[in-house]
Amino acid sequence: MFKGKKYITFDCYGTLIDWGGGIREALRKLSEKNGLDLDLTNISDKYIKVELEVEAEQYRKYHEVLQLSAKKLLKQMGFDISDKGALEFADSIYNWQPFPETHDVLAELKQKGYKLIILSNIDNEIIKRSIELMGIEFDVVVTAEEVGSYKPSHGHWQEMLRRFKAKKEEVLHVAASYIHDIIPAKEQGFDAIWINRNNEEPTREIRPDIEFKDLRPLPKSLP
């Protein structure tokens, strides 16, 4: 199905790095440290809605987006946190861990000869640490800081095509976020695999080419 692919583009946080787990743990620690009676049920789902709103306001570095989103979410839930607390929440991203299968899957794809690319809504400094934790060298990394916008805007993909002078049919996009990644990838004519870790339902008619629960089936799905 995916013959002729040379480049595999990955979203990072939620796909390769455990974004949801990182958010939940950071908010748990924030709640515990500040004596907040914070209901952590579906907290990452609540958080992402707020983060999307903050990102849509104007371009800011993601480290600042994390701080503003945490403050806004907790205010909606009836709590106020200090600037220091919001900063500690944002700094937690430097220690968010890869999913258990991430390294081995990427290593196998690299061994098969694919160019591995990250397209991420992140800052340059933060992504360096996450790549260290994954233990894999990527061929290209395109960040929100570089393109000055956040997915689902199309800037990441356009920058990737510019750098490689690649054709869309040579590219496969792999991502966990339906809103940030699958919709814009398909809108632009890219093949896309949805890593649907949380059994989400699509909110629009746009569908991925394939859907997996995690990354493990990916190498066998490619020649």
Which of 154, 184, 164, 181 minimizes the C-alpha distance to 115? 164
Write the Ramachandran bin of 148: left for phi over 0, alpha for psi from -120 to 50, otherwise beta.
left
Separation between Cα atoms, residue 204 and residue 207, nearest integer Å: 8
Active site residue 45: no
The residues pairing with 175 across neighbouring beta strands, listed in sequence order, are 194
State both tokens at 49: 């809605």
H runs (alpha helix) in 34-182: 43-57, 62-76, 83-91, 102-111, 124-134, 144-147, 155-164
Find the catalytic residue in 11, 18, 123, 181. 11
Closest CA to 14 of 120, 115, 117: 120
Phi (first) and psi of residue 168, to 5 degrees: -60, -35
Residues carrying an active site annotation: 11
